[in-house]
Amino acid sequence: ITPASMMIVFLGITIGTIMTMSSSNWLMAWIGLELNMLAILPIISKPKTTRASEATTKYFLTQAIASAMMLLSSTMNAWQTGNWSILELKNKFSTTIMALSLMMKMGAAPIHFWLPEVLQGTTLQTALLITTWQKIAPITLMYMISNNIQPTILVSAGILSMIIGGLGGINQTQLRKMMAYSSINNLGWTITIMAFFPNMALMNIFTYIIMTTPIFLTMTNMSTKTLQNLSTTWTTSMTMTLSIALLMLSTSGLPPFTGFMPKMLILNELISQKLTTLATLAI
């Protein structure tokens, strides 16, 4: 890919996300997401391997299905209310479909299956882009409609994401798959609190992005893709290995690291909402 085409691709990714975040109309938000999706496909397929082609196809199909669900939901709502405004999503059925489509776009459980596979088939830099920047637009839309989504749906998906993300990462030796399950787990926390305190959900996801970015950049710098690679880097670069270990502990939410702060605030909010059982499950 030439520098000029790469610039056009990154411009498409940036403009698509900004368009979705700043729109008040479902059609403009959908166009932004489509532009974003089409722009990232050449980046995923850049390594000329079978795995990269497979990852590109899986990413395209899941995002296309999610976009179709978005259009169906917004069209049904517009049919009933005569309004395409994002904040006017009043129809319960439309809201449920929209919530599921946004979860599918982010890679949250129960529609998470594509995320570990896509990340495994791409480079570390592309994996960083998918787990951070690509989540901003769907999270923003979910934040905007959070008052209309039934809390039961969000909490169920959130708890499921936490469990799958936690258990799925245990059985992995590939670092990209581990980071994918870490992303699913973190989305679980974000979606669960979105039902009660949307601002805290935004704080949680941005804290996650700030912590994940240096992990991927360090792994890229050290050319580590498996746990075995990571265990042998101690002899060559002690500082890098120590940094990545501390960053991973922070991402997992271990006190006294940064990652513990949003999780503690989320648990505190769940307990204050009389959801003690839910808070215990989250722990």
pLDDT-derived band at 230 (thresholds 50, 70, 90) equals confident
Query: 246: part of which helix (H) or strand (E)?
Result: helix 238-251
Say if CB 74 and CB 94 are below 8 A apart: yes
* pTM of the full structure: 0.93
Give me 249's structure tokens.
């502990």
Mind giving me the DSSP string for 161-227?
HHHHHHHHHHT--BHHHHHHHHHHHHHHHHHHHHTT-HHHHHHHHHHHHHHHHHHHHHHHHHT--BH
In this predicted structure, what is the pLDDT of residue 1?
64
Of 15-19, 72-76, 236-240, which gets the smallest average pLDDT? 236-240
What is the number of structural domains in the chain?
1
Q: What is the mean pLDDT of residues 243-264?
A: 91
Length of the chain: 283
In single-letter form, the type of residue at position 86 comes to I
Q: Which of 144, 142, 116, 146 is nearest to 131 (CA)?
A: 116
Evaluate if residue 282 carries a pLDDT over 70: no
d(CA 91, CA 60): 28
How far apart, in Å, do the first and last CA atoms of the chain sit?
45
Say if CB 216 and CB 127 are below 8 A apart: yes
Q: Which domain holds residue 173?
A: 3-282
Neighbours of 134 (CB within 10 A): 23
What is the 8-class DSSP label of residue 248?
Answer: H
pLDDT-derived band at 280 (thresholds 50, 70, 90) equals low
In single-letter form, the type of residue at position 277 comes to T
* % of the chain surpassing 90 pLDDT: 73
In single-letter form, the type of residue at position 158 comes to G
Task: Tell me the HSE value of 213 on the side-chain side, using a 13 A CA sphere.
Answer: 9
